[in-house]
Copies of this chain bind each other. A is one copy, B any other.
């Protein structure tokens, strides 16, 4: 049995652990694996590398993906790229393809299954933890821990200068990272896309915090958090014209400093949250996902994707419905908001 593996989309800690795990499961059953390079691009171009147990055995703690990744979507040029992809798939004589990726990468898999019945097994990957397929995705725990370690560093400098520090985390459409990291550091406020920004409440909480027992504050904000107040909406884009740099964190910091007169600083954690060695939790989850996918391949249960629901690993059909996004569970946000100076009941978006 010959099994291809590919990793697509943004990298995340645990991808190499998944690769190692699939390779071992297949090898133990007498099969062999081949790595497709840089996501779907590798199948379009026919770029591969061998993947033996010897080459992958030591990878469990290595961040990123040795296969490389890309956001190439063969359906963007369906007339040239899809036939190329099929030709290379055939030439490689693959019995199965394990696709590790988020909704974009797995969305291509769905089309290839529907259009050509390619023998695919999917493994969900999302550092933002925003796929319905999984309670928790590998990489997420690592990202949250990186944010926590960073905030611990920032806190001592915030204390020394009696500052507010606004920490902008990943999370374009969901606040999982901001909320979990915020809860874990005891953030004084947390802003997430799922809850409209309530500036007066934020400022109120921060003023309360300048009380005897606390002389600084940490505000966590997911990069996708947004104002709803039309005045602020008008304000937001003005001072920050360069899309890569001026984010919601800088905007919030400016508002806080202007309104409270407390010195405020912003830190954008950016790519730090994606990289480095995975935590034990993510190594184990990635390893178990790899074993589950290997098992599905060996049982020839194609067109499936691995899931994690209620702490149990299982699988479901790989189709568009399965790839639905999953916003932050507001129960977690309410738990975290218990520790804002005044407990806060979030209003959901209407």
Q: Quick one: given A58-B186, A152-B61, are A68 and B145 in contact (CB under 8 Å)?
A: no
Nearest CB of chain B from residue A18's CB, rounded to whole Å: 13
Measured between beta carbons, the chain B residues less than 8 angstroms from A2 are none
Q: Does A310 contact B (CB under 8 A)?
A: yes
Among candidates B11, B20, B24, residue contacting A160 with C-beta atoms closer than 8 Å: B11
Q: Does A212 contact B (CB under 8 A)?
A: yes
Q: Does A146 contact B (CB under 8 A)?
A: yes
Interface string of A215-227 (1 = CB under 8 A from B): 1000000000000
Nearest CB of chain B from residue A310's CB, rounded to whole Å: 4
A-B interface, 4 closest residue pairs, ranked by CB to CB distance from nearest: A63-B156, A153-B276, A54-B213, A64-B156
Q: Does A326 contact B (CB under 8 A)?
A: no
Q: Contact check, A57 vs B214: say whether CB atoms are below 8 A apart.
A: yes
Report the bound CA distance from A40 to B28 in whole Å.
Answer: 39
Query: Which A residues, 36 to 65, have Cβ-Cβ distances below 8 Å to chain B?
Result: 38, 53-55, 57-58, 60-65
Query: Which A residues, 101 to 150, have Cβ-Cβ distances below 8 Å to chain B?
Result: 135, 141, 144-148, 150
**Which A residues fall within an 8 A CB radius of B?**
7, 11, 13, 15, 20-21, 24-25, 28, 38, 53-55, 57-58, 60-65, 68-70, 135, 141, 144-148, 150, 152-162, 165, 180-181, 183-186, 212-215, 239-242, 244-246, 250, 265-268, 270-272, 274-277, 279-281, 283-284, 287-288, 291, 310-312, 335, 338-339, 343
Nearest CB of chain B from residue A336's CB, rounded to whole Å: 8
Q: Contact check, A157 vs B63: say whether CB atoms are below 8 A apart.
A: yes
In the complex, besides A15-B160, A64-B159, A153-B272, 10 extra interface pairs with C-beta distance below 8 angstroms are: A61-B152, A141-B280, A141-B281, A154-B271, A180-B280, A183-B284, A184-B280, A184-B284, A245-B245, A245-B246
Measured between beta carbons, the chain B residues less than 8 angstroms from A13 are 156
Nearest CB of chain B from residue A266's CB, rounded to whole Å: 7
Q: Contact check, A160 vs B68: say whether CB atoms are below 8 A apart.
A: yes
Nearest CB of chain B from residue A42's CB, rounded to whole Å: 12
Q: Contact check, A157 vs B280: say whether CB atoms are below 8 A apart.
A: no
